[in-house]
Structure 1
Amino acid sequence: MNKIKLFIVALLIVLTAGSAMAQKTGYISVDQIVALMPETGRLDSLLRKYQADSLNPQFTYMVSEYNRKDSMVSTKDSAKLSKQVKDQIRQELQGYAYQIQNWQSIVQQQLQGKQQELLEPIYRKVEAAIQTTAKENGYAYVLNREALLVMPPADDLFPMVAKKLNLKVPPTAAASTGIPKK
């Protein structure tokens, strides 16, 4: 009876070890795939258009409002305004002055937010392609190459995902990912 139990335990160990070994691990550089996407190439022009159409008019409006309100409190006609109104206008002037002085950082923040908004669907598309590629090729684990300092032996899924997304891989990208040159 003891030999039977020992045999069953040994069989279970062999089966679980075999199934654990059968799980494939791969890695991919998500940033490199995203950089190759055609949508990413159009990102710079979309951000420039956003800045020209939305952010630059805001700045022009702020400067014109600052100048208009400044002239309201610094001309002869300001004597007609009550102290309370003058104080309110001066407060508004301080707000405009702060925004004008810090406009560069405000623009950077808004551009970063717009860039994230535009990149989100691209990352979703890449993630879906990675999921599909991993499933089709039997990968249990796919790691992001940029997050790894040391990695176990694994397959680079870059060529398969690039093919799934119909991306042309430039020779420099192929060399850095270990893709054989054709």
Structure 2
Amino acid sequence: MAGRLATIYTSARLTFRRDRIEPLDLDDRFRVETPHGTFEMSKRDFQQVFSNVARSTSYVEAGSYNYSRVPSKAEVFIVGGRSRPMSELRLPDGRIVYDPRGTVTAEPRELAARLEMLDGVRLGVLDNTKWNASKLLRRVVAGLEAGSPFAQVNFYDKESFSRPGAADLLDRIAAENDAVITAIGD
């Protein structure tokens, strides 16, 4: 793809945001990260392939247009995440069911090196705000502290368990800690 990757935003659905797209040059690219996959295209692609969206009242006046289901024309712009959407199946009695077995792709990442010891480590604890996460994490910390005294224990909360942590929060956690633990706590 030509042009620079100029903006990235996250949405629960494939959503075109006027404030993010209109300032771009035609060959600049934007990325939309959704649970259905990550979509990347240039402003030119958007204007050509999604010309109906670019002219819609929702996009022009309200500032955004979102799809409740990913249209097939958007699938060519998937660059990561689910490589095919959930397929819809109709049962003989007319009910609709969804097959959730999409193929998920992710770039491999190297794990951080294991710490030799925990004595004197600044420990970060990220609570994802699920009901029992805080209780579980505090018990894990207590168990770890029994064997190794930490220099400091810092607690952080994500805004929502259903969304990625905010970039500024993650940067702060990385800067203030030597090791971090998190848990789902369901």
TM-score, scaled relative to structure 1: 0.19
Which has more helix, going by share of residues? 1
TM normalised by structure 2 equals: 0.19
Larger radius of gyration between Structure 1 and Structure 2: 1
User: Which structure is higher in RCO with an 8 Å CA cutoff and minimum separation 6?
Assistant: 1
Report the structure, 1 or 2, having the larger strand content. Answer: 2
